[in-house]
Structure 1
Amino acid sequence: MSPAGDAETVIKFPILIGDIGGTNARFAILVDSYAEPKEFPIVATADFANIDDAIQSAILDRTSMIPRSAVLAVAGPIDGDEIALTNCDWVVRPKVMSRDLGLEDIIVLNDFEAQALAVVALGAEHMVKIGGGEAEPNAGRIVLGPGTGLGVAGLVHACHTWIPVPGEGGHVDMGPRTARDLQVFPHLEQIEGRISAEQMLCGRGLVNLYRAVARADGGKEALSTPAEITAAAIEETDAVAVEALSMFVVGLGRLAGDLALVFMSRGGVYLTGGIAQKIVPALKKPAFREAFEDKAPHSELLRDIPVYVITHPLAALTGLAAYARTPSRFGVEIDHRRWVTR
């Protein structure tokens, strides 16, 4: 492992970049600092025993380009030479990957660090604004993404450098506030006696909410997947789905507002991931902003903070590509997260 973390980080091209989530993995190869990434078909993590097999079969066997380096973003905390994903049974072993795939240099980031990098790499054409004032250009930002799990990261600007701040904010506690919440919450599935944000605000969280709403009223659970529930709620064909999505949106607004206060994110709050993109019509309804701003005595402060939905389908890869091209632009700490073999 290298003593990385210096400002002169250089990553050798071609560079394999990858965004590995709990359900899907997305890969591309950067030939040089000027070329657009060559993208490959999205890989379902369940289709492969491990990440090495996925890279070999889905990427290396399908191109004549041989990457020398890799910058990977994974959904889980990075600690040591064996990195377990939170919502997938893959374990990333950089030393083994280097040996078996011939990579000279591997950097592993948290997946929401990549999403945070994307916030400054993407243009306004890839964002939908959900209320608030104008973002302060160099102020702190929050990135929040309901997907297979619930990712959270911060982004700060200091010394002319954007610095992503990874964390596990998706596992903070969530609690009831309204009379209806008090009826529904007892039916939510818990983990070791607690309800975390991720138990409500991700794909399985939406299913959890749907079941809890149905059980609170003694009704039927006619739908079973996040896609079915989302579609039925948007089309208003299932009353339980409509309420479940409404509670999801309100919960997301509450958490986003909490994080905005914690981080004083005058640069905006950015919602990313497939679920946020699919529920933009629901997020545009008043309930989301009302929940976001309902933070007395600081509601006025929250009214000025804009929220954006990132609509780019491969936002994390865009962030990784920006970092791989010009690492000096970003204050990414890679000590103990970089493996160099040659």
Structure 2
Amino acid sequence: MKDLLVGDIGGTNARFALWRDNQLHAVEVFATADYSGPEQAIEYYLADQGVALGEVSAACLAVAGPVDGDEFQFTNNQWHLSQRAFCKHLQIDRLLLVNDFTAMALGMTRLKADEYIEVCAGDADAARPALVIGPGTGLGVGCLLRQGERRWLALPGEGGHVDLPVGNAREAAIHQQLHGQIGHVSAETVLSGGGLLRLYQAMCALDGDVPRHKTPAQITDAALAGEPRAAAVIEQFCRFLGRVAGNNVLTLGARGGVYIAGGVIPRFAELFLRSGFHTSFTDKGCMSDYFAGIPVWLVTAELSGLLGAGVALEQALHD
């Protein structure tokens, strides 16, 4: 039986694994800058695993951006892919390209008990959609629908680019400060790694402070060490995330629960759990009671996108 290959390709790194018995095997991480394209990185990976060209029958790659047609240009790195040329080069019969947040959403179906933390208690309604939202390099937003005992549908979108919601005078002032600098203020403008730095700079400007930190990591470290300014920025970040997540729950009717994924929040999980996220999440006026009983989980798993690519491939081959 031929092998199956899965990949999760971001701006900086690409993760590859063999998919066997519905599980990941031999996960390796490659720097995208070290290879001219995905074919070259995968060829090296397969050789490292002792898998010859022609021994992989199908592959699924999770990629950042809308997937349409044969050609795909990666958003945050120099790679380009033609599906036909890819299959010919690697002697693969079938290539499935999926949006990276489609894979992330499908990865939620494979979480283990120690790979998520309960943020808000509740009982998920399995017949209703679940929301998957993830601040990382950008802000990913997706919807997960159960279609049977072992069948799932992930609906990707561009929800990270909706307008940043404002709930009070302070947030209105922050929005105005950002708008004056960059124009349109999307949710991703703030709710991402780079957005955390942008939020910090905007809050310093509003309060007449000189920014001391130059990277998101420095802000996070300072907040964890108890610096008031950095802690206030993290608190506001969490509150904005609550507003955006709550808006999406209402839009989708996501009583199936909310998964907070991505690489940003786990870096300050303790602060997040103590933050005003829940207050902002449920602050919806006459619809505030709608949120009673909707569970929220913080996902700490590192390979959800790669697992989701495996789930997508498994379902596609079953079809």
TM-score, normalised via structure 2 length: 0.90
Match of 1:288 in 2: 277
Deviation at 1:233, TM superposition (A): 1.4
Q: 2:127 aligns to what?
A: 138
Is 1:278 aligned to 2:267, yes or no?
Answer: yes
Aligned partner (choices 146, 149, 156) of residue 166 of structure 1? 156
- RMSD (CA atoms): 2.3
Matched residue of 1:68: which SS?
A: strand
Q: Give the deviation of 1:44 after TM superposition.
A: 3.0
Q: Secondary structure at the match of 1:323?
A: helix
Q: Distance in 2 between matches of 1:265 and 1:48?
A: 40
Identity of aligned residues (%): 36
Q: Distance in 2 between matches of 1:211 and 1:236?
A: 18
Q: Which residue of 2 aligns with 1:3?
A: none
8 Å CA contact 2:160–2:188 kept in 1: the answer is: yes
Q: State the partner residue of 1:81.
A: 70
Instruction: Provide closer, same or farther for how the CA distance between residues 261 and 178 of structure 1 changes in structure 2, counting only shifts above 3 A.
Output: same
1:63 pairs with 2:53: no
Q: Quick check: which one's helix share is greater?
A: 2
**Which amino acid in 2 is paired with 1:219?**
D
User: SS of the residue aligned with 2:188?
Assistant: helix
Unaligned runs of 5+ in 1: 1-11, 332-342
Q: Which residue of 2 aligns with 1:224?
A: 214
How far did residue 159 of structure 1 move?
5.3
Assess, with a 3 A threshold, how the Cα gap between structure 1 residues 13 and 268 changes in structure 2: closer, same or farther: farther
Q: Which runs of 5+ in 2 are unaligned?
A: none
- Tell me what 1:33 maps to: 21
- Say yes or no: does 1:319 pair with 2:308: yes
Deviations 1:224-246 (A, max 9, x none): 22222112112223x33222211
Q: 1:257 aligns with which of 210, 224, 246?
A: 246
Partners of 2:239 and 2:275 within 8 A in 1: no
Q: Per residue, is there more strand in 1 or in 2?
A: 2
Question: Structure 1 residue 44 and structure 2 residue 31: aligned?
Answer: yes
Query: Aligned letter for 2:99?
Result: N
Amino acid of the structure 1 residue aligned with 2:26: K
Task: Say yes or no: does 1:178 pair with 2:168.
Answer: yes
Question: Which letter maps to 1:37?
Answer: H
Contact 2:60 2:98 in 1 (8 A): yes
Distance in 2 (alpha carbons) for counterparts of 1:326 and 1:185: 42
Seen in structure 2, the aligned counterparts of structure 1 residues 89 and 266 have a Cα distance that, compared at 3 Å, is: same
Change (3 A) 1:44 1:148: farther
AA partner of residue 88 (structure 2): R
Q: Secondary structure at the match of 1:37?
A: strand
TM-fit CA distance, 1:35: 5.6
Residues matched between the structures, number: 315
Q: Is the 8 A contact 1:189 1:199 kept in 2?
A: no
Q: CA deviation at 1:189?
A: 6.5
Instruction: Give the drift of 1:281.
Output: 1.1
**CA distance in structure 1 between the partners assigned to 2:73 and 2:180 by the alignment:** 22
In the other structure, the counterpart of 2:299 is: 310
Q: Secondary structure at the match of 2:170?
A: helix
Residues of 2 paired with 1:190 and 1:55: CA distance? 44
Match of 2:257 in 1: 268
Structure-to-structure mapping, 1:106-255, within 5 angstroms: 106-158=95-147, 161-188=151-178, 193-237=183-227, 239-255=228-244
Go from structure 1 to structure 2 and tell me whether the alpha carbon gap of 1:44 and 1:240 turns closer, same or farther (over 3 Å shift).
farther
Taking structure 1 as reference, are residues 48 and 236 closer, same or farther at Cα in structure 2, changes over 3 Å only? farther
Task: Give the structure-1-normalised TM-score.
Answer: 0.85
Cα 1:159–1:191 shift into 2, 3 Å = farther
For residues 244-273 of structure 1, the C-alpha deviation after alignment (integer angstroms, 9 at most, x for no partner) is 211111111111111111111111010112
* Aligned partners of 1:122 and 1:318 also within 8 Å: no
